[in-house]
Amino acid sequence: MEEVSKWILMNYGLYYKQVSFNRQSMQVVNTALSGNNFKWEEGKLFNQDKQEAKRKSKIAWVKDEQLYLLLLRMVKSINRDAGWNFKIGGIEPVQYGYYDVGGTYSWHVDQHPKPVRGNVRKISMSLFLNDDYEGGEFDLELYSPAEEKRYRTFKLPAGSAIFFQSDQWHRVRPVSSGVRKSLVAWFYGPPYV
């Protein structure tokens, strides 16, 4: 289903898992994106200090059952292979992100401070849909406060995705030219005990 291109180990599984979607998987993604009449809206900040946090992007919601089934199959395998072994009960609506020049999303976590409808976000995914833009790098915090640089920067080819735990800090740097397009998904399950 996916090709493993990078493994980074931590005490309780991988920090993240980077995968390349194969041709069949990208066909499902492209069908989902071409079959929707998107209603674009401004990306919003949630649970962040609005004076420090910044987000500038357009978003739309992708509603496609085949896409959801594909991503759920992938995350179950990744969850096991990464050593996270979370109980995953489902996927939230998938977000299509559109960042034009100046588009950015400052440091944030995807996990809500309290369960929503009895569930918490456990695994996040960011799928890079194109690579013909400048800037717009994806940073994922991996290292301790003792390190001078606490994050790893990703600028991946189209069709590549990063899966990571939803409580990890991450950001999208400002786009300097072109348009950055991505799909973001969140996989949820029961609260931790």
Per-residue pLDDT tens digits for 64-120? 999 999 999 999 999 999 999 999 999 999 999 999 999 999 999 999 889 999 999
Q: Which residue has the tokens 């991450």?
A: 170
- What's the whole-model pTM score? 0.90
Which residues contact residue 113 at a Cβ distance below 8 angstroms, ignoring those fewer than 6 apart?
47
Which residues contact residue 153 at a Cβ distance below 8 angstroms, ignoring those fewer than 6 apart?
137, 138, 139
* Model pLDDT, residue 30: 97
Which residues contact residue 32 at a Cβ distance below 8 angstroms, ignoring those fewer than 6 apart?
62, 64, 66, 67, 94
d(CA 62, CA 161): 17
SS3 (DSSP) at 25: helix
HSE-CB at 48 with a 13 A cutoff on CA atoms is: 17
